[in-house]
Amino acid sequence: MSSQVRIGISGWRYVPWRGVFYPAGLRQRDELAYAASRFSTIEINGSFYSLQRPEFYQRWHDETPPGFIFSVKGPRYVTHMLRLRDVGPALANFFASGVANLRDKLGPFLWQLPPTLAYDPTRLDAFFALLPRDSDQASRLARRHNENVRGRARLAFGDNRRLRHALEIRHQSFVDPAFVAQLRRRDVALVVADTAGRWPLLEDATSDFVYVRLHGASELYVSGYGVASIDRWAKRIEHWRKGIDHDDARLAAPSDPREAHRPRRFRLLRQRRQGQGAARCAATGSSPRRRVERARSNACN
């Protein structure tokens, strides 16, 4: 079986990138098309902060080339405010908000948990049970939306296709073999998140794709990745592409020995969340130029 590696960025509309990553004079409305000409995937993180509109997703679809893939970040209202409890209506609104307009460019959904949310297998399992696993299920869920998206809902996803989900954890209690086993049962990918040591970094493969987010090598949301760091990540990616763990993989649970050398089809998306990084950097007094150069190092190598 073939495998695929996609390299991307988290978001594309950042003022400090203009004139550095983006050519001087490039129109703001052309930034997505420019970024999509250099990367094969981009993470939509505006959906984390608020419900987007169907016409936005349609425009993003139209401004990117064939074969391009978006990952979509799930709402913080679901993960941080409701903390995964009683999220049925919120999920219905999210899936009705227009993600269907990405059509064949709709990739995995990213669900990032807050640092204060500890591992609760019952709560997590109830959440996983609500997630649509194909576009027909997503359409049925979207039809249960409430007045928050009334008059602007997009419910038709077209031909049925599989939907995939990835979970990013930020609490030490998730370093637990039971958690990894639960993800494997539910076919949810565990996000490999490099956070400069702030939160757990686990590399257990729990689905048929690996989702990596690089938040900073030595300083969260600020530092870039040097040549040696990039080489180490490239070696990890090559192992995942082959469907095996690398020798020093940080695992909460060992892989099933029956599958240790069985090729598996992985798709890897390498992401870096830039929006919060810029805010964090500004708070420490780092200059815009320094922020851009570091962002460029992360995004373009």
Domain ranges for the chain, please list them. 4-300
pLDDT given at position 283: 25
- Give the DSSP per-residue string, 6-44: EEEEE-S--GGGBTTTBPTT--GGGHHHHHHHH-SEEEE
Give 65-102 pLDDT, tens digit per residue. 999 999 999 999 999 999 999 999 999 999 999 999 99
Q: Which regions of the chain does DSSP assign to beta strands (E)?
A: 4-10, 41-44, 69-73, 106-112, 165-168, 189-190, 192-194, 210-214, 267-271
In this prediction the pTM is 0.85
CATH hierarchy code of domain 4-300: 3.20.20.410
pLDDT digits (tens, 9 = 90+) for 255-274: 554 444 333 333 444 333 33
Rg of the chain over CA atoms, in angstroms?
Answer: 19
Are the C-beta atoms of 269 and 43 separated by less than 8 Å? yes
CA distance 270 to 81: 27
Q: What is the pLDDT of residues 119-154, one digit of tens each?
A: 999 999 999 999 999 999 999 999 999 999 999 999
Does the structure show a pLDDT above 70 at 51? yes
Angle at 188 between CA 135 and CA 98, to 5 degrees: 35
- Residue 58: is its pLDDT beyond 70? yes
Across the range 207-213, mean pLDDT stands at: 96
Tokens for 253?
């649970």
> 18-40: per-residue pLDDT in tens?
999 999 999 999 999 999 999 99
Question: Do the Cβ atoms of 184 and 205 come closer than 8 Å?
Answer: no
Which region holds residue 98: left if phi is over 0, alpha if psi is between -120 and 50, else beta?
Answer: left
pLDDT in tens, 105-123: 999 999 999 999 999 999 9
